[in-house]
Amino acid sequence: MQGVFLDFATVSHGDVDVGRLAHAVPHLALHDVTAESEIPRHIAGREIVLVNKLHLSRSLMSANPQLRLIAVAATGTNNIDLEAARELSIGVCNVRDYCTASVAQHVLAVMLGLTHHLSDYHRVATDGTWASSPQFTSLEYPIRELRGRVLGIVGYGTLGRAVANAAEAALGMRIAIAQRPGAESAGASGSERLPLDELLRTADVVSLHLPLTEATRNVIGARELALMKRDAILINTARGALIDGEALAAALRARRLGGAAIDVLPQEPPVDGHPLLNSHLPNLIVTPHVAWAAREARQRCVDELAANIEDFLRGGRRNRVV
């Protein structure tokens, strides 16, 4: 069985054990990076293709009748033409729930970083401001306790639940859950789901965990940001296009929002720039899509890929989407 991993560097920086994967696919070519123009050459003759974010189109599949399985190193499969795969009898599987702890940890980290103004106080401590102070401390930036504050979860799936549980257990926060777009209010873990507008008015921190669909694109825009408390924090570890970036930059610049932590942008890498990459925006943390990327999570992802392939070769349907 011939296999190829087209973008292996998206899951490994030389720190992931590929032993189980090599056992599942003994003849596996690992390409750290594959340019779009190189995809046809790299998948030619391969029966199993492993991919994270590269696009596999109908034409690529049709040109490779030997292709039996596309194993996606992520939960999302929007980069695969699933209809074509179904018509051509090509299996497609994904990996699920592999980065839950990493994402929850990241959300808590940026929430605390923004609440405690860690970057601001680091600057105060190192630029001479503290050394010239007449007192032992510095109180320029207000710090508040999160215990009893409301964390609003928008998207209450596996990741949203994990973030809610972690914030409740570790920080004593109260949890509010937003209704899904177009859904009726429903109970969830003892909490009634709130209309999004009501949640935005209520929450001290809002964390997004929605998939990107036509119903959720720009779900947080200028109108929604205006509903939030002036000291509220917005966190997005889901999909970049959930937020209107121009509107968020304007809200931060005008200090109509307490802060934001953004791990995802609509274009990644952002070769065309983005308004949130302005280093002068106050109380903003931008990270390059790494909330999921703890080494343990990446190892789990690779091992899950191997388990999916092993099951496929036995005739199973583990984590199959096609």
Task: Point out the residues that are catalytic.
Answer: 239, 268, 289
- Bridge-based pairing of strands 2-5 and 48-51 is parallel
Write phi, then psi, for 288 (nearest 5 degrees): -85, 65
Q: Tokens representing 296?
A: 């343990």
State the Cα angle at 301 between 296 and 306, rounded to 5°: 125
CB atoms within 10 A of CB 322: 20
- Whole-angstrom Cα distance, residue 198 to residue 194? 6
Is the separation of the CB atoms in 284 and 259 below 8 Å?
Answer: yes
Q: Which residues pair with 105 in a beta bridge?
A: none
State the Cα angle at 9 between 77 and 40, rounded to 5°: 65
Instruction: Indicate the angle between helix axes 295-313 and 100-115, nearest 10 degrees.
Output: 160
DSSP E strand boundaries for the chain: 2-5, 27-30, 48-51, 69-72, 91-93, 150-154, 174-178, 187-188, 191-194, 205-208, 233-236, 259-262, 284-286
Residue type, 147: R
Measured over the CA atoms of residue 161, residue 162, residue 168 and residue 174, the dihedral's sign is negative
Q: Is the peptide bond before 181 cis (omega within 30 degrees of 0)?
A: no
Alpha carbon 190 to its chain centroid, in Å, reads 26
- Whole-angstrom Cα distance, residue 232 to residue 259? 7
